[in-house]
């Protein structure tokens, strides 16, 4: 069922830092899972909270440093994924949006579905925040040299589909993706960043 609408407010994207990490921490403590694929995984959320509280600086570094990717996508040397995470902020922590890509290429490692990941904490959903955040990410992707980015959602994730379409995403195909099992149908969208206009 669609979330109830509240008056739209503006959000900004801010870079995660030690002073604002407590917003993320509070959301974990309320049971929010930052991983859309593990939304009901209480053990994962609790483990994340323990890790954060044990080593705040280390947790932040992990959030902002991409994995080193063995070259399953090209013949190049192993590379570190570029991650640009942002908190979605309306005066409080609302969720995150992350732009990710391989350095100097539009390609993605096989385990990652699309150039963008996002999640809004349940108590801030239905206010247009994810749509605003995706729109705000486009100039950041353009600045990184992208004319268009790939954004993917599960076929049954109607809210995410709506977010992508409202931000200008054009569906180019549907099907399984290596980032998930063969039974999960994903929708693949291209989203123009505006840099080629
Ligand atoms: C998907 C998600 C990011 C949307 O965040 P949000 O801030 O609530 O999204 P917005 O308010 O910007 O827009 C949601 C749109 O989807 C619509 N929507 C919400 N739930 C819906 C549903 N069940 N069916 C159809 N449409 C739905 C809303 O009505 C709104 O469209 P509208 O403005 O035309 O009415 C949020 O639900 C979330 O974090 N989900 C869990 C993580 C996730 O799925 N991430 C995306 C992975 S691809």
CB atoms within 10 A of CB 134: 23
Residue 81 in any domain: the answer is yes
**Residue 154 and residue 145: Cα distance in Å, rounded?**
27
Phi (first) and psi of residue 11, to 5 degrees: -120, 165
pLDDT of 71 higher than 70: no
Residue 41 in any domain: the answer is yes
Residue 61 in any domain: the answer is yes
Q: Which of 3-17, 123-137, 176-190 has the lowest mean pLDDT?
A: 3-17
- Tell me, what's the pLDDT at 81? 84
| Domain containing residue 36 | 12-146
Tens of pLDDT along 100-129? Answer: 988 877 777 777 778 999 999 999 999 999
Best of 133, 159, 168, 177 for a ligand 1 pocket test (most atoms within 8 Å of beta carbon) = 159
Tens of pLDDT along 17-51? Answer: 999 999 999 999 999 999 998 999 999 999 999 99
Atom of ligand 1 minimally distant from the CA of 114: 48
Residue 65 in any domain: the answer is yes
Instruction: Kindly report the pTM of this predicted structure.
Output: 0.91
The DSSP secondary structure of 109-157, one letter per residue, reads -TT--SSEEEEE-GGGTTSSHHHHHHHHHHHHHHHTT-SEEEEEEETT-
- Burial code (b: 16+ CB inside 10 Å, e: under 16) for 96-133 equals bbbbbbbeeeeebbeebbbbbbbbbbeebbebbbbbbb
Residue 96 in any domain: the answer is yes
Radius of gyration of the chain, Cα coordinates, nearest whole angstrom: 17
CATH number at residue 88: 3.40.630
How many domains is the chain built from? 1
Binned at pLDDT 50, 70 and 90, residue 67 comes out as low
Atom of ligand 1 minimally distant from the CA of 95: 39
Residue 89 in any domain: the answer is yes
């Amino acid at each position: 069922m669609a979330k109830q609408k509240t008056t739209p407010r503006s959000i900004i994207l801010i870079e995660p830092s030690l002073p604002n990490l407590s917003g993320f921490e509070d959301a974990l403590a309320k049971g929010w899972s930052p991983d859309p694929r593990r939304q009901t995984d209480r053990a994962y959320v609790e483990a994340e909270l323990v890790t954060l509280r044990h080593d705040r600086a280390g947790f932040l570094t992990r959030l902002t440093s991409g994995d080193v990717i063995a070259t399953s996508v090209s013949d190049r040397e192993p590379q570190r994924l570029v991650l640009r995470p942002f908190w979605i902020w309306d005066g409080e922590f609302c969720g995150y949006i992350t732009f990710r890509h391989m350095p100097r290429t539009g390609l993605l490692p096989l385990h990652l579905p699309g150039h963008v990941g996002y999640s809004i904490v349940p108590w801030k959903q239905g206010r247009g925040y994810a749509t605003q955040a995706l729109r705000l990410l486009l100039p950041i992707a353009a600045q990184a040299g992208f004319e268009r980015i790939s954004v993917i959602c599960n076929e049954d994730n109607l809210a995410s589909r709506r977010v992508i379409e409202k931000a200008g995403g054009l569906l180019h195909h549907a099907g399984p993706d290596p980032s998930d099992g063969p039974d999960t149908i994903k929708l693949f969208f291209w989203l123009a960043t505006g840099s080629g206009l």
